[in-house]
Amino acid sequence: MSRLGSIGAKLYNGEIGYDFVAKRKFWYGVSILITITAIVGLAVSGLNMGIEFKGGAVFNTPKTSISAPQAQEYAEEASGHPAIVQKLGNDTLRIQVSELDTAQATEVKNKLAKDLNMPAAQLDAELVGPSWGAQIANKAWTGLGIFMVLVVVYLAIAFEWRMAVAALIALIHDLTITVGVYALVGFEVTPGTVIGLLTILGYSLYDTVVVFDGLKEGSAGITKQTRFTYSEIANRSLNATLVRSINTTIVALLPVAGLLFIGGGFLGAGMLNDISLSLFVGLAAGAYSSIFIATPLVADLKERDPQMKALKKRVLAKRAAAAARGESPEDDGPEQRYSAEDDADDDGPVPGAVATAGAPVVTAPRGGRGRGRSSERRR
């Protein structure tokens, strides 16, 4: 078994683990700081909307030796508006000029063809109206709203409302960060960007739902024991899927990083930047939120429940009593399933509970009510 596989097995069995839930306030602070930075960047810089949303004209040149910066200068002089120029693989240029109507586009085309020293007939021009981009944006917002509602309903039915709320907050967190990065970096927002934003929603939920499923199973019958709190079980569920989450995120990020840094950056295929940046940032933010935001939020919300508050008091009281006697929680004997009779003397463990500070390492449940108990317990 590889070293990473060995670490994953130990995390799953509760032999080692990082207490994400106990340190949640620190990670909440980090998330709030990142989110505020993204919002400030969005408010100050705004989004660099593409021509599809603002309207304008796109000019495609034949093969030319003129550089992209020189063509950009010519386009801005001819139009009086900012221009975006991309050099394509066959030495042709794609020139975008926003906020042009039909008459202006024709005039700019003639001036630009003269500056580029080519016949105007060879300069292909396309006029893009802003209404098309507005339709895309409206449909994207509609799709996003429907998606959010369906997610909340599904999680509330399949799990519980607290998990639905935590997942929704994590999704909003991921979208805010991704949009904020676009504002700070200044990349153009195109329909490809919208597609990327909608795509990352599923990735953002994937790891979160896996952890929630383990948490639901591990917390079944939790109030029938006094060895572990809800937060400790939540932490174990998170640690059990940690290596899996990291591996799947890295595998997903590698091809996207290739598109962004090699295709868009090194090779200069700027059209790849719009979708690849949203995917890259969204995937990274989704993995972060599923580990540091969603599950700790569920634990926070759940610990407000009166039953969980009472359970936590019983757990802490029992540990304090055991510490006063110089005993450890393991002295109560091996793990067993919950039963109503076991509630008083706490023979039952939490399935999948995590070893945390002051708590024992969890082993697999064993059958037999009296088997393995100390003679003092049997008396």
Same domain, 250 and 160: yes
- What CATH number did the domain enclosing 92 receive? 3.30.70.3400
Coil, helix or strand at residue 124: strand
Q: The dihedral of CA 274, 279, 280, 284: what is its sign?
A: positive
User: Do 182 and 43 share a structural domain?
Assistant: yes
371 in any annotated domain: no
pTM: 0.72
Judgement on whether residues 198 and 289 belong to the same structural domain of the protein: yes
Q: Are residues 92 and 150 in the same domain?
A: no
289 and 162 belong to one structural domain? yes
Residue at 173 is within a domain:
yes
Q: What is the pLDDT along the chain (379 residues), one digit of tens a residue?
A: 566 567 656 665 656 677 888 889 999 999 999 999 999 989 988 888 877 777 788 888 888 888 888 888 888 888 888 888 877 767 788 888 887 777 888 888 888 888 888 888 888 888 877 677 678 778 878 888 888 899 889 889 988 899 999 999 999 999 999 999 988 888 888 888 888 888 888 878 888 888 888 888 888 888 888 888 898 888 888 888 888 888 888 888 898 888 887 766 666 555 677 788 888 988 899 889 988 999 999 999 999 999 989 988 988 888 888 888 877 655 443 333 333 334 444 444 444 444 444 343 443 333 444 444 443 443 3
Q: Tell me the pairing of strands 83-87 and 188-189.
A: unpaired
User: 289 and 175 in one domain?
Assistant: yes
**Domain with 83 in it:** 56-128
- Tell me: do 40 and 77 sit in the same domain: no
* Judgement on whether residues 224 and 269 belong to the same structural domain of the protein: yes
Domain boundary among 79, 108, 128: 128
Residue 109 lies in a domain: yes
Give the pair of three-digit tokens for residue 152: 């909340």
CATH of the domain at 138: 1.20.1640.10
26 lies in some domain = yes
Instruction: Check whether residue 16 and residue 153 sit in a common domain.
Output: yes
Helix (H, G, I), strand (E, B) or coil at 85: strand
